[in-house]
A = this chain, B = another copy of it.
Amino acid sequence: MTARLNERSEPDISGLRIDGDRLWASLMQLARIGATEKGGVCRLALTDLDGQGRDLVRRWATELGCTVRVDAIGNLFMRRAGTRDDLPPVMAGSHIDTQPTGGKFDGNYGVLAGIEVLRTLNERGIRTEAPLEVVAWTNEEGSRFVPVMMGSGVFAGAFTLEHALAQRDREGVSVAEALDRIGYAGRQPDGPVPVRAYFEAHIEQGPVLEAHDTVIGAVQGALGQRWYDVIIQGQEAHAGPTPMAMRRDALLAAARLIQSVNDIALRHAPHGRGTVGWIDSFPNSRNVIPGRVRLTVDLRAADDQVLDAMDQALAQACSELGEGGGLSVSLEPVVYFPPQAFDPELVGLVGEYAERLSYSVMPVISGAGHDAVYLARVAPSAMIFVPCKNGISHNEVEDAQPDHLEAGCNVLLHAMLRIAGVGAIDRSAS
């Protein structure tokens, strides 16, 4: 028996909750595909293991009555029809590819939280007005193929399908070939795909929520990023016979630059970030003054003006390093992601439902890139962060608490319902 909604009776769904145990069980089941000995997951994009993970998630969606569509870059859309199926869908998603030494939650949580929302609605006989879609984006991690966030990037028009399909891994296998091999080379839709709203639940991958003992992060947006390659050329020389005043020590110069990068970030608080993550010193011998150092710089900021100021400060620091000391410094930009604000209405809903559900909540900013950052270019988008243990991700010890994952999924459920609207409730459902 289906109760048609009318103007007079709004259904009370405020008590609706997902099943945290079921969500956890699904996470653990998916994590077995590519499981590592240390408790992590290695399921690189478009490998056979990725294919098996996709098959499992697709089967779960099909069992829920979803229709499945795969586009030409392999993005997997699992659609639950709405009572007004012509409306643009309300989406939830993320990715199920992992880093080589990845964890069980990064990406996987966002996809399986979406599946859990659908299971909950099925169980309770709730049909939404707008259709719902759970999506698994192709190759978010970028470990096997670059660019990162490939599937969502193609979807949002950040780069072309052709560009993405032509990328090759270290063995020379192209994205197109890899998609074909695992059976996920789909068909591109004829026109643009309108999206009413996109939600992505994700572990924070940072330490802020944990440090504030807070369960839900209402993500305001994502930091912009500028990445660089730096080469400092000095003169290698024997450490003993070369007086201090006659040295052109590339590692000493690198040390100064590393401190400058840190200072630049501190001067652009609270969201400015600066990291030298990779360094290579030549010839790297105990009693030889280093003659050449290569290093990377990663600058981030919430605002493009700030990011530009940091960029200029870095160029200035490199320029000063080269002056007078007989060193040459080359600074090459290699990546730029603009800062991306999320949709204020959707971000507001995340905060509102966290409070209604009595979860502690705080506004946060995403320091990392996510599929939602590309989606935000073409649709109202928001993210829901939950804490991860010690802020660690991209690591086999990545961990998250079941009750936190459950909380984030409940917020996702209610935020999606609010946007999609409740179309009908089958009272006979359990």
Contacts and interface: CB of A to CB of B under 8 A. Distances in A.
A368 B238 contact: yes
A254 interface: yes
Interface string A91-119: 00000000000000000000000000000
23 contacts: A205-B238, A206-B242, A225-B240, A236-B395, A238-B368, A238-B391, A239-B298, A244-B269, A251-B258, A252-B258, A252-B259, A255-B256, A255-B258, A259-B259, A275-B289, A277-B284, A277-B288, A277-B290, A278-B284, A278-B286, A279-B279, A279-B281, A279-B284
A278 B281 contact: yes
A346 interface: no
A239 B297 CA distance: 10
A127 to B, nearest CB: 37
A251 B269 contact: no
Contact of A241 (B238, B244, B366): B366
A410 interface: no
Given A246-B211, A279-B251, A394 B241 contact: no
A275 B113 CA distance: 53
B258 A244 contact: no
Contact of A255 (B206, B227, B254, B273): B254
A166 interface: no
A300 interface: yes
A338 to B, nearest CB: 14
Contacts of A368: 238, 240-241
A328 to B, nearest CB: 17
Given A287-B277, A288-B277, A240 B258 contact: no
A225 to B, nearest CB: 7
Given A205-B240, A255-B259, A367-B238, A227 B276 contact: no
Contact of A259 (B237, B256, B272): B256
A206 B242 CA distance: 5
Interface in A171-215: 204-208, 211
A221 interface: no
A392 interface: yes
Contacts of A251: 258, 276-277, 279
Contact of A277 (B275, B286, B296, B393): B286
A76 interface: no
